[in-house]
Amino acid sequence: MNICVIGTGYVGLVTGACFSEMGNQVTCVDTDAGKIEGLKNGVIPIHEPGLESVVTNNFREGRLRFTTSLPDAIKDSSLYFIAVGTPPREDGSADLEHVLAVARELGRHIDRYAVVVDKSTVPVGTADKVKAAIREEMRKRGASVEFDVVSNPEFLKEGDAVNDFMRPDRVVIGADSERAADILRSLYAPFTRNHERILVMGVRDAEMTKYAANAMLATKISFMNEIASLCERMGVDVENVRVGIGSDSRIGYSFIYPGCGYGGSCFPKDVKALIHTAEEAGFDPAILHAVEVRNENQKRRLFEKIAARFGPDLGGMTFALWGLAFKPGTDDMREAPAVVLLHQLIGAGARVRAYDPVAMTVARDTLPHEWFRAGKLTLGEHQNDALKGADALALVTEWKPFRYPDFGAMKRIMKRPVVFDGRNQYDPAQLRAEGFEYFGIGR
């Protein structure tokens, strides 16, 4: 098929690259000329394992193209995926400005039957707004072209997105037209050959499915973090509790790891957006409010432990920080717990030496430049560089290289052998036997 993907961010680039991997002709469109030029030269703007080879190979083979001109891309396609950003507004609602701008441009140019697919995460009712925007532009130019709008939400995990796309758990297609549903079924058939994983439902049902899925996962995380806080007060090790409940097949082990909160571009934004949607509908989403509050509190939990150990004034102290990205496998620092901790530590007068395997460039570009100029924040070239002269280590992101470090070397490098384990990666008994003070979550 000839496909046009509008937006080359995280979702758009993975979508376009993976469709081209299956032999489709794909044109990716973005208004950022620098990004498009970089993609043509093999520069991938995000860290995502496996994505670079898929992009460069298909670009070289001519199946994947990049352009800044949507009108030019429209000429060659009849299937359009909208994958632009939907950032949160101040009230928590999703900003649909970019989605509707793309819809209006499509309405100005499509001249034959087309299927317009909402790939971006959008609130219930967005497909209706996209349809109205396209129709209005057609009316202005006196055109009457048949088209359908479909919801096809993504369920990609950062750090494993290529594998998720190529081997999906499910493909949700929200369509009110059998013709459009059949086209999407054909497109996704190569991705679901070993067993049927395509779920066709109404457009609004599909829009809600995406938000409900992310909210459910966020709820599991916040629930476990709440149990962890209770365990601390009751003298219980939450890790034993986690294993005990995870062994129940009705619960499972996924997303029940206690820690210092969730972050990223999806869970925080989508929980807020679903809360806003519920309140607009006159419904009080009590559980979602609790999920959000617990997560915000959890992001402050490591600093609370640090302040309890050293006092609120951290002037003259140095802290090592392992992990800046919101999770392993990505360089995404949006809503990352590490950023919250950095603000708290530096605000309390401390200096921080930080290290992350892949997010260092993003950290230099996005964190306050004043921190670097004033020597409040230093980025180490190696994880042990961050430990030099440190009064304590805070582990925030559970990257694999942090799981089994040389504790003897750590103790020699650090000023004081104190570890604040924000992801419960270490065995408290082992660290204490090595001479460390250990502080975990719910332990």
Residue 271 has pLDDT above 90, yes or no: yes
pLDDT tens column, 25-64: 999 999 999 999 999 999 999 999 999 999 999 999 999 9
Averaged pLDDT for residues 240-262: 97
Query: What is the predicted pLDDT for the residue at 196?
Result: 84
Res. 170 pLDDT band, cuts 50 70 90: very high
Phi-psi category of residue 271: left, alpha or beta, with phi > 0 → left and psi -120 to 50 → alpha: alpha
Res. 193 pLDDT band, cuts 50 70 90: confident
Averaged pLDDT for residues 264-281: 96
Q: What is the DSSP letter of 94?
A: B
Query: What is the predicted pLDDT for the residue at 97?
Result: 97
Residue 291 has pLDDT above 90, yes or no: yes
Catalytic residue among 4, 28, 260, 266: 266
Averaged pLDDT for residues 122-146: 97
Res. 409 pLDDT band, cuts 50 70 90: very high
Res. 194 pLDDT band, cuts 50 70 90: confident
Averaged pLDDT for residues 165-173: 97
Averaged pLDDT for residues 231-252: 97
Residue 416 has pLDDT above 90, yes or no: yes
Residues composing the chain: 443
Query: What is the predicted pLDDT for the residue at 187?
Result: 98
Averaged pLDDT for residues 106-133: 97
Residue 192 has pLDDT above 90, yes or no: yes
Catalytic annotation present for 266: yes
Q: Which letter, b or e, does each residue of 151-188 get, where b requires 16 or more Cβ atoms within 10 Å of its Cβ?
A: bbbbbbebbebbebbeebeebbbbbbeeebbebbbebb
- DSSP lists the bridge partners of residue 100 as none
> Do 298 and 259 contact (CB within 8 A), yes or no?
yes
pLDDT tens column, 420-438: 999 999 999 999 999 999 9
- DSSP lists the bridge partners of residue 26 as 3, 64
Pairwise CA distance, residues 68 & 25, whole Å: 17
pTM: 0.94
Q: What percent of the chain has pLDDT over 90?
A: 98
Neighbours of 60 (CB within 10 A): 10
